[in-house]
Amino acid sequence: MSSEPTLYERLGGRSGVEAVVDTFYERIMRVDELYSYFANTDMIQQKYHMATFLGVVTDDSAQFDTARLSTAHAGLGITDDHFALVLAALAAVLKEYGVTPIDRYTVAAKLRLLRDVIVQQVKR
């Protein structure tokens, strides 16, 4: 048994993760290719769900129903480029919050596993 604090704990628990999520969406809203996706989104709800999701990814014991991710992103025409931009934004914010390279790598690796539920290549 290890008593090492999890990344979730090192970020400061729920309130720390919420701060990361706030900064993350500030950054997303400054990216030309991304912000319009959230034009009709209730950002209070969005941040709540993202904080819960990120909590699970960083080892909070809470649960997140990943099937929700498929539903939430269905039909949005999200490309690999969008996906890469979101991952890059999150990595930059985690770096800003002092998260180590290995922890950033771990988070990114977990998120990359979700590529197939989020990305839908729109071929015309």
Q: What residues line the site for ligand HEM (CB under 6 A)?
A: 34, 37-38, 40-41, 46, 49-50, 53, 68-69, 72-73, 76, 78, 82-83, 86, 111, 114, 118
Q: What is the 3-state secondary structure (H, E, C) of 74-101?
A: CCCCCCHHHHHHHHHHHHHHHHHCCCCH
Query: Which residue lies nearer to ligand HEM by CB, 13 or 114?
Result: 114
For the bound state, the minimum distance from the C-beta of residue 58 to ligand HEM, rounded and expressed in Å, comes to 12
The single-letter DSSP state of residue 34 is H
For the bound state, the minimum distance from the C-beta of residue 44 to ligand HEM, rounded and expressed in Å, comes to 11
Query: Which residue lies nearer to ligand HEM by CB, 4 or 123?
Result: 123
Query: Which residue lies nearer to ligand HEM by CB, 71 or 100?
Result: 71
Residues in contact with 61: Cβ distance below 8 Å, sequence separation at least 6, in sequence order: none
CA angle 62, 84, 76 (to 5 degrees): 75
